[in-house]
Amino acid sequence: MMTSGRPFLQIPGPTNVPDRILRAMDRPVIDHRGPEFAALTKQILPLLGPVFGTRGGPDGGAPILFPGSGTGAWEAALVNVLAPGDRILAFNYGHFSAQFAQTARNLGYEVDEVPLRWGQAVTQDDLECSLRDGAGEAGARRSTGQTARQPYKAVLVVQNETSTGVLTDVAAVRRALDAAGSDALLIVDAVSALASTPFRMDEWRVDVALAGSQKGLMLPPGVALLCAGPRARQVAEQCPTPRHYWDWRPILRDNAAGFFPYTPATLLLFGLREALVMLVEEEGLDAVFARHERLAGGVRAALAAWERWGLTNLCEDPDRCSPVLTAVKMPDGIDSDVVIRHARERFGLSLGVGLGRIKGVVLRIGHLGALNELEVIGTLGGVELALRESGVPLDLGSGVAAAQQAFLKS
């Protein structure tokens, strides 16, 4: 068991929290109904606009914060704009897209879930096909057995599938909706995408975007974030679904004065302000996105070097590989859980496990949040040691050297 030095948290979220953010949160709790708190809210909300890619105002997206996790954000995104029994189109291409669809089913919506391979992205073709076929005939699984064919009220997409390391092109999803003439609401899970890869709420005409604090925003878990577009806000006014905690209307109303209808995650919001200053005002979002691409390139170069020992990228299309994490498929006969346990116990390196049906099959290397080249190199060195000591006879340093080369060139 590693007992000294810094533990390496290289799961694809929660991510490392920079000391600056920890210090920003290390303070007495303040009155969330007082003027200091109102000033904090009024600083945070405008800084969230660029992160979601919205100009804000009546025609743009409105950020909404809840104490909660990404799972809560799923529920909030659904219950504010969809009525019980509404028909939804969803795709199953990893653990989180499957869980998002399951959340909708649990809430009483009629979900057509199109199965894709885990490792694929949702493409414009997939979506156009499903919209054309009503998603019934082309292999989709009807969740309720009902035969009524009302038009889809919403399409659910997970931008970055954190279980597979695949990034879906949301612009292409929007093009497919437009091409099919669908007026379904576009609801995008950006939990592990936000602040790590571009998100363009206005340009892609996303109706509801949702995220969590613990990934690209470099905060501890505990804040669920939504951004509601103008159409979604309008639909929410009439939406008959019973809701209370996740009802965004009182939040939008009280936010205008800098307050919340119930107790917000006060200290996390001090951390959020610091994170937004770092990302938006200091490093700059374009530089943040470029850094994620660069670091991902190093990890992919390492994986390419390991391929001769049977390791592969679960992401099938090189153009859709995630800048946030890489899901590394193990060679035959190697259980990824064993490698992950060894990395943690022997080297203090935390890697992501395979989720759902790919448990034991992949390990996930997170390369998001507060991270740099040397940390990636250290991580890859640890992965190589753990693989080698778990029975993969790779050449030590092969992946590390490939990543170094990638960083040298870029």
Ligand X SMILES: Cc1ncc(COP(=O)(O)O)c(C=O)c1O
State the residues that interact with ligand X by CB under 6 A: 13, 69-71, 96, 158, 162, 189, 191-192, 212, 221
Q: How far is the CB of 44 from ligand X (least distance, A)?
A: 19
Q: What residues contact residue 348 under an 8 Å CB cut-off, 6+ apart?
A: 2, 5, 6, 7, 8
Q: Which is nearer to ligand X, 353 or 385 (CB)?
A: 353
Query: 185 - beta bridge partners?
Result: 154
Q: Which is nearer to ligand X, 221 or 261 (CB)?
A: 221
Q: Which is nearer to ligand X, 96 or 347 (CB)?
A: 96
d(CA 394, CA 331): 11
Q: Which two tokens stand for residue 5?
A: 């030095």
Q: How far is the CB of 1 from ligand X (least distance, A)?
A: 26
Looking at residue 160, its amino acid is: N
Q: Which is nearer to ligand X, 89 or 158 (CB)?
A: 158
Q: How far is the CB of 79 from ligand X (least distance, A)?
A: 16
Q: How far is the CB of 48 from ligand X (least distance, A)?
A: 18
- Is residue 295 within 8 A of residue 367, CB to CB? The reply is yes
Q: Which residue is nearest to ligand X (CB)?
A: 70
HSE, side-chain direction, 13 A CA sphere, residue 162 = 29
Backbone φ and ψ for 258, nearest 5 degrees, come out as 90, 10
Q: Which is nearer to ligand X, 13 or 198 (CB)?
A: 13
- Is residue 380 within 8 A of residue 398, CB to CB? The reply is no
Q: How far is the CB of 282 from ligand X (least distance, A)?
A: 26
d(CA 293, CA 367): 9
Q: How far is the CB of 187 from ligand X (least distance, A)?
A: 12
Q: How far is CA 8 from CA 87, 298, 312, 350, in A?
A: 43, 17, 23, 6
The structure tokens 């904090």 sit at 40
Burial call 376-409: b when 16+ CB within 10 Å, e when fewer: bbbbbbbbbbbbbebebebeeebbbbbbbebbee
Q: How far is the CB of 99 from ligand X (least distance, A)?
A: 7
Peptide linkage before 115 cis (omega within 30 of 0) = no
Q: How far is CA 393 from CA 49, 114, 279, 386, in A?
A: 48, 39, 40, 11
Q: Which two tokens stand for residue 299?
A: 């990890």
Q: Which is nearer to ligand X, 69 or 312 (CB)?
A: 69
Question: 383: alpha, beta or left, given left = phi > 0 and alpha = psi -120 to 50?
Answer: alpha
Q: Which is nearer to ligand X, 188 or 406 (CB)?
A: 188
Q: Is 63 helix (H, G, I), strand (E, B) or coil?
A: strand
Q: Among candidates 172, 170, 178, which has minimal Cα distance to 197?
A: 170
For 168-324, where are the E strands, in sequence order?
185-189, 208-212, 223-228, 312-313
Q: Which is nearer to ligand X, 70 or 271 (CB)?
A: 70
Q: Which is nearer to ligand X, 162 or 182 (CB)?
A: 162
Q: Which is nearer to ligand X, 363 or 377 (CB)?
A: 363
Q: How far is the CB of 356 from ligand X (least distance, A)?
A: 12
d(CA 351, CA 329): 13
Query: 157 - beta bridge partners?
Result: 188
Q: How far is the CB of 364 from ligand X (least distance, A)?
A: 10
Pairing relationship of beta strands 325-329 and 110-115 according to DSSP bridges: unpaired
Q: How far is the CB of 163 from ligand X (least distance, A)?
A: 7
